[in-house]
Structure 1
Amino acid sequence: MELEEHAYDVVVIGAGGAGLRAAIAAHEAGARTAVVCKSLLGKAHTVMAEGGIAAAMGNLYPEDNWRVHFRDTMRGGKMLNHWRMAQLHAQEAPDRVRELEDWGALFDRTDAGLISQRDFGGHRYARLAHVGDRTGLELIRTLQQRTVALGIDVFMECTVTRLLTDDVGIVGAFGYWRESGRFVAWQAPSVVLATGGIGKAYKVTSNSWEYTGDGHSLALQAGASLVNMEFVQFHPTGMVWPPSVRGLLVTESVRGDGGILKNSAGNRFMFDYIPDFFRKETAETEEEADRWYTDKKNNRRPPELLPRDEVARAINSEVKAGRGTDHGGVWLDIASRRSPEYIRKRLPSMYHQFKELADVDITKEAMEIGPTCHYVMGGVEVEPDSQAAKVTGLFAAGEVAGGMHGSNRLGGNSLSDLLVFGRRAGVAAAENARNRAGRVRLADDALTSAARAALAPFEREGGENPYTVQHDLQQTMHDLVGIIRTEAEMKGALERIAELKERVANLSVDGHRQYNPGWHLALDLPHMLLVSECIARAALERQESRGGHTRDDFPTADPEWGKTNLICSRGPGGDVGVRRQPLPQMPSDLAEIFEETA
């Protein structure tokens, strides 16, 4: 077997915000570090995060602080967040933003010259540091520049298919070059997963092609566990027309800067969907909501800025009630609220996106939008301070890690999550590598097994087409494990997934190993199926509605379920099991925050 081998202290899988920040931290801690990414450096899905980085810097509202940010994050996640992760995130986010600025990030400024901060749903104060509506792009540009300047090795257009372990823990990873199909292995005592999400398991998604759930699956197969996989966030505003861009994200900044939601009758419907949990701080009349934009300190927030799960469910309800647009969405209108100059300055990417892709001038017309699969709150179960998984030497940060966001992520918290926990994962991975230096090696039989599994689709003739199986999986998840769920539908989904497993075992691809998209998909499909099964089983088990998980047959939140996490693990035979685990107990000094900010 022809195999290219490398040895490092830390291998980071994924070159988005979490992966690059982890690599920088590991390198600065003295570890020989490599980054492996599916696409070109700088093309990670983080570039699509448009609105901003949530951090309680107090640049617009001096009364903002980490305690208020912590409270907002916990309440947005319906109190199912791991309290320690939410605490660390709120406390450290401002320093991570200032660090980016020190490294060259060019943030928008206030009149006083401070980093500007904008409003987003679920945040009490305007706290999103931003660069127009291209914040993710600037974040990646800055981290990429620093990664290159530090001389960190980057393996671009390279896919990891298996994590390698021994009796103690991680010893490395196995993968292939996407262009040539040649195999490559990395010997390393520490691996950081920063692979992002699972959106390509769904038919309508804002996620890029890389988001196949491979990090979740790799961790599960290596012996780690996943937490709360039932919580999938459907961003309320994705493009619904034309079909070629259905699901493409429309940033929450549109609503943060004054955009309102209307149904097909022209009614501003969000006033009908304010939950009791948020009623005290949400405007209940149009006059009160409109006044908020000019007098933000003394007025309640518009209902368009409720947390994403609330807005997505409201839009879904309007469409189901027959009050949607011709293409199955609703209208998002900023043209009647802001001047063309304001829109083009504050939302340049949105203006360009709709103009070029949908022939819609958002300075003159409303946008046709609807919910799109956007983010998974569930992920690898990690120790909050170090991001260490249950397998020695394995770490996870960013969207692939679970616990931080509870049952629903607030907008803007993803980018600060990447920075805070990417850094922590990198530091801890370097420390683990020092402790296990010289104790890991790659076993020949493990490498041979990984290569044999990767080549299997070429050795079958007349098998299933990978694209057909992917289409059927996406349709299954869209129809049966989508934004509104029922027991019967999820049981049906699990039956279909079982059938799809048999079909995946019979996949065949034509051609050769040189850049072969069909082969790449054939290797991604087992990951997507495993993650889809975890989502469906956990969603079936959780008999309540909370955050990104809505059960039509259990429409309210249950206090007992509010104390419970669901843990997915893989048995010896490969079967997915789900067990209940008590939520970590919050210390009394943090619990007091909810009283002082009531």
Structure 2
Amino acid sequence: MTRNPPTDRRASTRDHASGVEGRLDAADGTDTVVDDRCPEYDVVTTPVLVVGAGAAGARVAIELAESGIESLVIGKRDHGDAHTTWAAGGINAALGSLDPDDDWAIHAADTLNEGHHLNDPEAVELTAKGMPDRIRELDEWGMPFDRTDDGTINQRYFGAQSYRRTCFVGDRTGEAVLETLIDRARELEVPYRDNVMITRLLSDGTRIDGAVGFDMETGQGMLFRTNHVVLAAGGFSALYHRHSSRDDENNGDGQALALEAGARLADLEFVQFHPTGMVGDRYGEEWDGRLVTEAVRGEGGRLYNADGERFMERYSPDQMELDARDVVARAIAQEIREGRGTETGGVYLDISHRDSEYVRDRLPAMVERFDSLGVDITEEPMEVAPTAHYTMGGVGIDFRTGETGVEGLYAVGETVAGVHGANRLGGNSLAETVAIGKHVGDHVASEVTDGDDEPELTGGHRALAEREFRALDDLAASDGTITPRELLDDLGDALWETAGILRDAEGLRNGLDELADIRARTADLRVDGDRTSRSFEYAVDLSFSLTVAEAMLRAALERRESRGAHYRTDFPETNPSWRVNILVSIDDGELSTSHRGVGEPSAAVREALEEGYELDYHHLE
């Protein structure tokens, strides 16, 4: 296979599948198909389409290129502007730089404990085993890791980790990971295309024949002919009104696309609420929920309520601020609910007891951000409160291959479920992208054949694509009275109130009722602008978000216990009989749930679990 960009391939100007005359667009080498029955659209052919240009998608594409396989990476934003850059604190690997007793099996055990043993054990072990090599690989590719005095890669504590295994670049680790991967992809001449949004996968429920979307800068429809699609489109935490993502990403598009193509979703009820998001009433609405990295607590940051009490001493006297994220988030929520929060609805996070130069060296982005808001974190505390941050659930895959059960459809990164179980260990999100991304890229490369250079598109899928283009045109022409942003805001409020940190059956049912009402109101939708407008983008997001929100609510209602990030006040105990994954699929046009048993870890990991390794926070004191 060649590595030439797919847009350089000159396909025939006559599309034999539909008999429609097209014209060649000499600017980028794509076919522009013109048909009176549907809007104009371009046709792009590629052996592998990677949907998502963050770390997971980039690592898949790198592996493909190193195997000599051509792919096209597409993203909804400018190249390099992916959600990966918001993962600040670090990336896990059992290097033993500071704690030589650490090893991959203990990393795996910590991951399973944090995930309350709903994780896919094979996925956990692939990640933990692979990460030392992936860190060394990133180092070789030029990632500027912080170093110890003797020149080894430095590591810090992160919540619920037995040892210091989180490698970092100050507090901009995700940005550094993505920059390093992009530089490597450019060396390999991996082609990419910015500002493209996929709205439908062409699938009969059993196999993939391509994808449909549009160019967000021009509004032009795009039909991708391909036999292999890798979804690396992120999670769905931005469905909540208070979240750590930007409003225009992590809307559930990857999960919705896979579900509608015939794949199953798993573990959707597990949404991680990070303990420390910025408080909008203090810092401004645009900052509400923005993440204050766990690195602040990893470097010794302390939590205080409005009474000046270091309250984690009551909730977790051994692990304190570095207990599991769900534990710390519920503790903060409890303090606020019982009246010990600040006037603006948060608690205090304080790192000012550490040397100011140390703080500036280890947390430069946090120092800069708060400086811009008139707060010197080396001298005074930050106000924080929980925020929706990460979604453990997603597409069910085979982690050695990335296969989804739909032929030709693969998934990776936060789009999938399995590594994190019921709660994610901090520092494992970036680890999963590169560790599993390599496996998925390697497998997809083995599946590509010479025939994938010119994949066929059935007449039925051509018709499905053209129906999608007409539907997008109709959506852009919506002239009702309610904007997509209004409905997305209402959805975010409903989920925060009914499926937030604390849940019960009544609230979850109310959430489904509110969701049905929002769906009904889409009949009066108004899109302001054409297909290049943010309003149109939000309208497309709304469709994905409603689908995933319903699936999440139904899974949360189904799980009648508390486990990890899913806390039911009407079922507050963990029930061993619920050690199952809840799956969501589409059957006869309706969402349905089923259960699947969880596998057991290997002997090496079982031994590490039995040893009972645990962080002693007081090492930091």
TM-score with structure 2 setting the length: 0.89
Which ranges of 4 or more aligned residues in structure 1 deviate by more than 4 Å? none
1:576 aligns with 2:618: no
| Correspondence 1:551-590 to 2 at 5 A | 551-561=568-578, 563-573=579-589, 575-590=590-605
Q: Secondary structure at the match of 1:104?
A: coil
Task: Quote the sequence identity (%).
Answer: 42
Within the candidate set 515, 520, 525, 1:507 is matched to 525
1:319 aligns with 2:361: no
CA contact (8 A) 1:9 1:430 kept: no
Within the candidate set 154, 166, 175, 1:128 is matched to 166
Distance in 1 (alpha carbons) for counterparts of 2:469 and 2:451? 26
CA contact (8 A) 1:192 1:426 kept: no
| Correspondence 1:290-369 to 2 at 5 A | 302-335=319-352, 337-356=353-372, 358-369=373-384
Summarize the Cα distance change of 1:324–1:29 in structure 2 as closer, same or farther, 3 Å threshold.
same
Distance in 2 (alpha carbons) for counterparts of 1:361 and 1:482? 31
TM-score with structure 1 setting the length: 0.93
1:380 aligns with 2:395: yes
Distance in 2 (alpha carbons) for counterparts of 1:169 and 1:256? 45
Corresponding position of 1:286: none
Corresponding position of 2:48: 10
Q: Secondary structure at the match of 2:383?
A: strand
- 1:456 is displaced (CA, Å) by 1.9
| Correspondence 1:214-229 to 2 at 5 A | 214-229=253-268
- 1:332 is displaced (CA, Å) by 0.3
How many residues matched? Answer: 568
CA contact (8 A) 1:128 1:412 kept: yes
Any idea what the Cα deviations from partners look like across 1:490-527, whole Å, max 9, x if unmatched?
000001111212222442324333x2111111111010
Larger displacement relative to structure 2 (242-251 or 217-226): 242-251
Q: Secondary structure at the match of 2:149?
A: coil
1:268 aligns with 2:344: no
Distance in 2 (alpha carbons) for counterparts of 1:10 and 1:554? 45
1:231 aligns with 2:275: no
What are the ranges of 5 or more consecutive residues in structure 1 without an aligned counterpart? 275-281, 284-301
Any idea what the Cα deviations from partners look like across 1:89-134, whole Å, max 9, x if unmatched?
1000111111011111111101111111111001100011110111
CA contact (8 A) 2:108 2:605 kept: no
- 1:168 is displaced (CA, Å) by 4.8
Corresponding position of 2:58: 20
Within the candidate set 386, 392, 395, 1:371 is matched to 386
Within the candidate set 192, 201, 209, 1:154 is matched to 192
Distance in 2 (alpha carbons) for counterparts of 1:521 and 1:123? 38
Distance in 2 (alpha carbons) for counterparts of 1:220 and 1:502? 22
Corresponding position of 2:143: 105
Summarize the Cα distance change of 1:318–1:435 in structure 2 as closer, same or farther, 3 Å threshold.
farther
Amino acid at match of 2:113: R
Amino acid at match of 1:46: T
Corresponding position of 1:279: none
CA contact (8 A) 1:118 1:256 kept: yes
CA contact (8 A) 1:190 1:430 kept: no
Any idea what the Cα deviations from partners look like across 1:187-231, whole Å, max 9, x if unmatched?
111111111111221110001221111001000000001101000
Amino acid at match of 2:255: H
Summarize the Cα distance change of 1:129–1:158 in structure 2 as closer, same or farther, 3 Å threshold.
same
- 1:422 is displaced (CA, Å) by 1.3
Larger displacement relative to structure 2 (376-385 or 429-438): 429-438
- 1:359 is displaced (CA, Å) by 1.6
Corresponding position of 1:389: 404
Q: Secondary structure at the match of 1:56?
A: coil
Corresponding position of 1:546: 563
Corresponding position of 1:403: 418
Distance in 1 (alpha carbons) for counterparts of 2:123 and 2:549? 25
Distance in 1 (alpha carbons) for counterparts of 2:244 and 2:343? 21
Amino acid at match of 2:599: P
Q: Secondary structure at the match of 2:573?
A: coil
Within the candidate set 442, 464, 482, 1:446 is matched to 464
Larger displacement relative to structure 2 (23-32 or 548-557): 23-32
Corresponding position of 2:491: 473
Distance in 1 (alpha carbons) for counterparts of 2:429 and 2:357? 29
- 1:552 is displaced (CA, Å) by 0.8
What are the ranges of 5 or more consecutive residues in structure 2 without an aligned counterpart? 1-38, 614-621
CA contact (8 A) 2:529 2:535 kept: no
Within the candidate set 297, 309, 325, 1:255 is matched to 297
Within the candidate set 92, 102, 107, 1:69 is matched to 107
Q: Secondary structure at the match of 1:369?
A: strand
- 1:436 is displaced (CA, Å) by 6.4
1:118 aligns with 2:160: no
CA contact (8 A) 2:226 2:455 kept: no
